[in-house]
Amino acid sequence: MTELPDNTRWQLWIVAFGFFMQSLDTTIVNTALPSMAKSLGESPLHMHMVVVSYVLTVAVMLPASGWLADKIGVRNIFFAAIVLFTLGSLFCALSGTLNQLVLARVLQGVGGAMMVPVGRLTVMKIVPRAQYMAAMTFVTLPGQIGPLLGPALGGVLVEYASWHWIFLINIPVGIVGAMATFILMP
């Protein structure tokens, strides 16, 4: 991969960060559920909807992402995915009720559903076939680390800040990712 142009390497980093954000968010919420329940005045037994709404939205929207990328363009959909995911994160952090949080997680799930498959399409478009496997390994490795870090990071953020921070950490990364996508993606 060292023979790739700098611009292509930056594009791979953008996709890798997208994979990381999406995969981290699937597990970071779990350790914060009791704190969320207390803050929102809900029974912890009702909080499963926070997880289910995200995962179900990703599963439902995943097939549409490739079709949308073909119709609207890979860069446009990847940009929209990051923006939707980031806005969903902001709305999650600002949620004052369980229903608001679930709706924000659905928005976040729409963005997350488009980020990974469209990221893979991006890699297919920008990397020569001979380097495709190395590039895919590079961009998917952060996606494998995200679920491992999620519970521990979620616990630390809840313990030393508040549950809101499990979502707020996505905002600067999302803003940088969206700007980089707009500027650097083909």
Residue 1: what pLDDT?
61
Q: Give whole-number Cα distances, 32 to 1, 22, 44, 166, in Å.
A: 38, 17, 11, 8
152-169 pLDDT per residue, tens = 999 999 999 999 999 999
Residue 69: what pLDDT?
92
Question: Please, what is the average pLDDT of the chain?
Answer: 93
56-75 pLDDT per residue, tens = 999 999 999 989 999 999 99
The CA distance from 163 to 40, in Å, is 11
Average pLDDT for 117-142: 92
87-127 pLDDT per residue, tens = 999 999 999 999 999 999 999 999 999 998 999 999 998 99
Q: Which residues of 129-159 are buried (b: 16+ CB within 10 A; e: fewer)?
A: eebeeebbebbbebbeebeeebeebbbebbe
Residue 25: what pLDDT?
87
Residue 111: what pLDDT?
96
Residue 49: what pLDDT?
97
* Element counts in the chain: helices (H) and strands (E): 8, 0
Residues composing the chain? 186
- Predicted confidence band of residue 2 (pLDDT cuts 50, 70, 90): low
Give the count of beta carbons closer than 10 Å to the beta carbon of residue 178: 20
pLDDT above 90 coverage of the chain, percent: 82
- Please state the pTM of the whole predicted model: 0.92
Q: Are 185 and 118 in contact (CB under 8 A)?
A: no
- Residue 38: closest CA among 161, 133, 163, 131: 163
Where do the domains of the chain lie, and which CATH numbers do they carry? Answer: 7-184 (1.20.1250.20)
